[in-house]
Amino acid sequence: MFRSLIAFSLIFVMLGANFSRLFIYAGFELNKNYIASALCENRDKPQLHCNGKCYLMKKLKQAEEKEKSQNRESQKNHFQEALITQKAKFNFQVQLLKVLYTEELPFALPRHSSAIFHPPQV
């Protein structure tokens, strides 16, 4: 029971972050009369037929700015600054190769057969 309650609350929180605009629209539709009469900036000008839409636009803009700032903050958290304070020193150890010269023995077989390496005959 406790685990399912935690799971549902986490799902609700995650969906709430993704559907913030939906919640703003739903809140506006549910409280349209109150917003139009008390919170609307143009409530003194009924000829504009605003009916609280200015308040809705303001809330949507605030939600969008909040989302952008959260995105910027999350990007800043993923960014790591690299500060190099010392010059890097590389020490390469050079090894000289020893070249061995071998003599071919006169009685040894040749390394390749001349019978194989020739152009084809037509």
What does residue 20 show for φ and ψ, rounded to 5 degrees?
-65, -40
Report how far residue 31's alpha carbon sits from residue 45's, in angstroms, rounded to the nearest whole number.
Answer: 20
pTM: 0.49
How do residues 83-108 score in pLDDT, each as one tens digit?
Answer: 777 787 888 888 878 877 777 666 66
Q: What tens digit of pLDDT does each residue of 33-53 get?
A: 898 888 888 888 878 888 888
Q: Which residues contact 51 (CB under 8 A, 6 or more apart)?
A: 32, 36, 40
Query: Residues 5-44: pLDDT tens digits?
Result: 888 887 877 776 667 888 888 888 998 889 888 888 888 8
Which region holds residue 48: left if phi is over 0, alpha if psi is between -120 and 50, else beta?
Answer: alpha
Question: What is the per-residue burial (b if ≥16 Cβ within 10 Å, else e) of 77-88?
Answer: eeeeeeeeeeee
Q: How far apart are CA 116 and CA 87, in angstroms?
A: 59
